[in-house]
């Protein structure tokens, strides 16, 4: 029996509808949440992501300002821009689209962002508060995964969750968030990685498997227990002569074989991706409410 397909697209639309309704209440009071997106260099994927984020803002009534800098932009110019955005009253959230051109120090740029406007949850102060279990901006992809599990009826509380991958943006913060004693978490979490001896043993014993290691179709049906819930965080381009442009995007999960064994599964695209953008909007709204002392 094929698995239930968890539609991140559908759930993200629900979240966006909720945000839109909250934003309209704020707008009626004269408050317009605002997001600034900094795009440096000419990476086409980065340009696409920023465009998608700006479009999502528009859908829900959040003001967005995309600031494009060309490749030659220097470190002090970017830092000055961040200072300016930190000071602007119409901007509640600041995101710097990663990766920056190689000559720029991305960590220093992130550190310059006002932690109260750090809607990507990447400033060390926010990461540190997260680790300490105190209120913080949570990084968008892990936050989206918690929402996805909860809203699709697969709350992780009391479950064994195996995360594949220990990356800075997903695996590590997600492990911390899923283990917290909170209504959308409280899971028993194991993080597997390249140093793990028998990954399949771990995944076969998990109620929920989250694949976030960036290896195309790594997780196969024989690696999970029947009925397991599988979340696919991967986006890998693979060659496929049958497709337009000779390439297509696949996740870290081998969809066909896992679909035969899992109880529920997210697709790629249309799974975690749209949830990440919904989380960014949630964080921007939260930043706006905080700045106006509305919480």
- Give me the active site residues, please: 53, 97, 120
Applying the rule CB under 8 A, the residues between 92 and 131 that interact with a copy of itself are: 107, 122-131
- The neighbouring-strand residues paired with 230 are 209, 265
Nearer to a copy of itself, 52 or 179 (CB): 179
* 135 binds a copy of itself per the rule CB under 8 A: no
Nearer to a copy of itself, 40 or 122 (CB): 122
d(CA 290, CA 40): 28
When binding is defined by CB under 8 A, the residue of 74, 99, 133, 227 that contacts a copy of itself is: 133
d(CA 5, CA 17): 21
Sole window of 36-44, 183-191, 250-258, 281-289 interacting with a copy of itself (rule: CB under 8 A): 183-191
- The neighbouring-strand residues paired with 142 are none
* 153 binds a copy of itself per the rule CB under 8 A: no
Nearest Cα residue to 87 out of 64, 112, 105: 112
* Bridging pattern class, strands 160-164 and 34-40: unpaired
Applying the rule CB under 8 A, the residues between 156 and 175 that interact with a copy of itself are: 157-158, 160, 166, 168, 172-173, 175
Q: Residue 138 Cβ, how far from a copy of itself at the closest point, in Å? A: 12
Q: Residue 89 Cβ, how far from a copy of itself at the closest point, in Å? A: 25
The residue written with tokens 């406007």 in the block is: 117
* 86 binds a copy of itself per the rule CB under 8 A: no
Backbone angles phi, psi at 195, to 5 degrees: -90, 0
Q: Residue 38 Cβ, how far from a copy of itself at the closest point, in Å? A: 19
Q: With both helix axes pointing from N to C terminus, report the angle between 124-132 and 171-179 in degrees, rounded to the nearest 10.
A: 30
Site string for a copy of itself, 184-203 (x = CB under 8 A): --xxxxxxxxxxxx----x-
Q: Site size for a copy of itself, by CB under 8 A?
A: 39
Q: How many helices (H) and strands (E) does the chain have?
A: 10, 11
* 292 binds a copy of itself per the rule CB under 8 A: no
Give the distance, in angstroms, between the CA of residue 291 and the centroid of all CA atoms in the same chain: 23
Q: Residue 212 Cβ, how far from a copy of itself at the closest point, in Å? A: 13
The residue written with tokens 């965080």 in the block is: 233
* 180 binds a copy of itself per the rule CB under 8 A: yes
**How far are the Cα atoms of 115, 174, 210, 212, 287 from residue 227, in angstroms, in the given order?**
41, 22, 14, 20, 38
Contact assessment for residue 232 and residue 252, using Cβ atoms and an 8 Å cutoff: yes
Give the distance, in angstroms, between the CA of residue 56 and the centroid of all CA atoms in the same chain: 14
Contacting positions for a copy of itself (CB under 8 A): 107, 122-134, 157-158, 160, 166, 168, 172-173, 175-176, 179-181, 186-197, 202
């Amino acid at each position: 029996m094929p698995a239930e397909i968890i539609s991140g697209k559908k759930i993200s639309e629900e979240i966006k509808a909720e945000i839109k309704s909250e934003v309209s209440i704020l707008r009626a009071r004269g408050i317009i949440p605002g997001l600034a997106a900094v795009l440096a260099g000419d990476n086409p994927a980065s340009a696409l992501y920023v465009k998608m984020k700006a479009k999502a803002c528009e859908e829900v009534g959040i003001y967005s300002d995309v600031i494009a800098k060309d490749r030659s932009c220097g470190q002090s110019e970017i830092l000055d821009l961040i200072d300016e955005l930190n000071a602007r009253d119409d901007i509640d959230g600041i995101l710097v689209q990663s990766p920056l051109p190689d000559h720029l120090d991305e960590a220093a740029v992130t550190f310059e962002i006002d932690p109260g406007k750090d809607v990507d949850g990447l400033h060390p102060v926010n990461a540190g508060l997260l680790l300490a279990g105190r209120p913080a901006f949570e990084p968008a992809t892990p936050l989206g995964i918690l929402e996805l599990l909860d809203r699709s009826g697969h709350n992780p509380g009391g479950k064994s969750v195996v995360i594949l991958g220990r990356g800075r943006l997903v695996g590590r913060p997600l492990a911390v968030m899923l283990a917290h004693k909170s209504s959308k978490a409280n899971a028993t979490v194991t993080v597997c990685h390249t140093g793990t001896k028998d990954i399949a043993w771990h995944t076969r014993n998990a109620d929920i498997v989250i694949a976030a290691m960036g290896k195309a179709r790594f997780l196969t049906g024989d690696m999970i227990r029947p009925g397991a819930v599988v979340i696919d965080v991967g986006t890998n381009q693979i060659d496929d002569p049958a497709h337009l442009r000779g390439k297509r995007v696949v996740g870290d999960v081998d969809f066909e074989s896992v679909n035969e064994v899992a109880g529920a599964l997210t697709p790629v695209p249309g799974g975690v991706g749209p949830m990440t953008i919904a989380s960014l909007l949630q964080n921007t709204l939260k930043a706006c409410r905080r700045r106006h002392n509305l919480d």
